Amino acid sequence: MNIKTKERMVTKMSRLWTLAALTVVAATGFTSCLKNSDPQPQQPVTYVAFVNSLGTEYGVDIFMDAKKINSEQFKYGAADGALFTPKNYKIDFKKFGTEVLLASESAPFDTSRYTTLILHGDGSHADVHRILETWTNAATDRANVRFFNLVPNSGPVDLYIGETRVWGGRQYEDFMSGQYDQFTANNLGTFNIVAKGPGGDTLAIKEVSLAARGGFYNIMYQGIDSVTTGDLKPKITVMPYQNQ
């Protein structure tokens, strides 16, 4: 890869993340920790995306260094992000409207780095998976996808995009080591994304557009395995990292 191509890719990644982050700030009421509400173009920032996959009826509040950053309940299934001042943060996830601590993550959030935080588990246990995004080997002419099994006690799951099995035997929390943080290239188009059990039975299905050339998508199997109706019934959710 020559330098000019690399520069174009870096510029494109930054633009996509900035647009996505600014959009969700307006949509979700996140409060930026930036000192200046109208930052200068060269002010350093870090980008953080939050995913709530905690299988509970209640939502959460998010605190960064004891400062609440959401003005509305961050509900199960939500995925949002914002820009913050780069520094070390202690991030607490608390049961909405209470002081009940569900999970915490303390880490440095560096300048121009992109971090995804996935809160997962159920009412008895919660954990946070932190991903330092690198966009390694990203495809610029196809869609980039990755998959997380976020359903506790689900057993192994096969994930199909259209008729192709892209991942097989994915266990709950098998991603905690970081081995599934990288993206895989996939053809552009609209597909049925299907989670299947070991016997080939369909656990969840969703029609999804993966049409953004060079776009990035989290595909998530979310819910509670024993629930058969309502919001906590296992489902497929897709979180794009760029506007479409």
Looking at the chain, the whole-number percentage of residues with pLDDT higher than 70 is 82
So what's the pLDDT on residue 30? 60
Residues 123 and 155 occupy one common structural domain: no
Range among 11-15, 21-25, 35-39 rated most confident: 35-39
Residues 122 and 147 occupy one common structural domain: no
Residues 185 and 76 occupy one common structural domain: no
Residue for token pair 């996935």:
118
Residues 202 and 114 occupy one common structural domain: no
| Residues 242 and 216 sit within 8 Å (Cβ to Cβ) | yes
Residues 123 and 18 occupy one common structural domain: yes
Residues 7 and 125 occupy one common structural domain: yes
Average pLDDT over residues 26-52: 66
Residues 153 and 125 occupy one common structural domain: no
Residues 4 and 115 occupy one common structural domain: yes
| Residue 23 clears pLDDT 80, i.e. is over it | no
- Taking alpha carbons only, the member of 89, 176, 90 closest to residue 128 is 176
| Residue 188 clears pLDDT 70, i.e. is over it | yes
Residues 120 and 205 occupy one common structural domain: no
Q: Which of 79, 103, 133 is the last residue of a domain?
A: 133
| Residues 206 and 187 sit within 8 Å (Cβ to Cβ) | no
pLDDT tens digits along 77-130? 999 888 999 999 999 999 999 999 999 999 999 988 899 999 999 989 999 999
So what's the pLDDT on residue 232? 97
| Residue 224 clears pLDDT 90, i.e. is over it | yes
3-state secondary structure the chain: CCHHHHHHHHHHHHHHHHHHHHHHHHHHCCCCCCCCCCCCCCCCCEEEEEEEEEECCCCEEEEECCEECCCCCECCCCEEEEEECCEEEEEEEEECCCCCEEEEEEEEECCCCEEEEEEEEECCEEEEEEEEECCCCCCCCCEEEEEEECCCCCCCEEEEECCEEEEEEECCCCCCCCCCCCCEEECCEEEEEEEECCCCCEEEEEEEEECCCCCEEEEEEECCCCCCCCCCCCEEEEEECCCC
So what's the pLDDT on residue 36? 40
Q: Please give the residue range of the domain that contains residue 207.
A: 139-244
So what's the pLDDT on residue 172? 96
Two structure tokens written together for 204: 């969840």
So what's the pLDDT on residue 34? 43
Higher pLDDT, 242 or 146: 146
Residues 52 and 144 occupy one common structural domain: no
Residues 148 and 177 occupy one common structural domain: yes
pLDDT tens digits along 147-159? 999 999 999 999 9
| Residues 114 and 17 sit within 8 Å (Cβ to Cβ) | yes
CATH number, domain with residue 106? 2.60.40.2890
Domain count, the chain: 2
Q: Which of 133, 149, 168 is the last residue of a domain?
A: 133
Q: Which of 103, 133, 163 is the last residue of a domain?
A: 133
- Give the mean pLDDT of the chain: 85
